[in-house]
Structure formats: structure tokens, C-alpha cells
Amino acid sequence: MDNIKSIIKMPKLKKPPAYKWQELALVIIAGLADGDNKKNSIFKCCKQNAHLAQIAYNDARELGKPYAKYFLKVFNDLVKKTK
């Protein structure tokens, strides 16, 4: 009986992200102070260009501005420079 109870009480496993950019977006959301408020924008940035999103995130962390608004500003500037 104890085995059946332990099997039923086992926590359900979360599905891993389907793409690498989704995993990056989750890391960025967790790392930014207000990342939960701008989830959709962060996912869109990572889908558009994951490399530039990583650069923008690193820049925000290094400058001590871990906020979504600064991350998005840096990302948009990088996109404009590459076009």
C-alpha cells in the first residue's frame, strides 16, 4: 500500500522548453527584477534574435540595471545597429 501512495504523491515533471530561445527567455525573465511584467516582450526578443537578447541581458546585469525596460532598450538599439 505504501508504494501506491508514494507513486500517486510523486510530483509531476515539467515539460522542458521546446526551443533554446525559450529557455533563454526563461533565464532572462528570472534574472530581471520586473521580468514577470514583460514576459511577452522578452519572449518576442529571444525569438527574434537570441544572440542579441543574450548580449542585452549581459549588458543589463553588468551595469547593475536588471530591469526589463533597460533590457528592451539595449536590445532595440542592437537590432537597429545590425540593420
Cα R_g (the chain), whole angstroms: 17
The pTM of this model reads 0.80
Question: What pLDDT does residue 2 have?
Answer: 63
Residue 70 has pLDDT above 90, yes or no: yes
Angle at 68 between CA 72 and CA 44, to 5 degrees: 55
Could you please report the per-residue DSSP string of 16-62?
PPSSHHHHHHHHHHHHSTTGGGGHHHHHHHHHH-HHHHHHHHHHHHH
Residue 77 has pLDDT above 60, yes or no: yes
- Contact in structure between 81 and 49 (CB atoms under 8 Å): no
| Chain-centroid distance, C-alpha 3 | 38
Residue 5 has pLDDT above 60, yes or no: yes
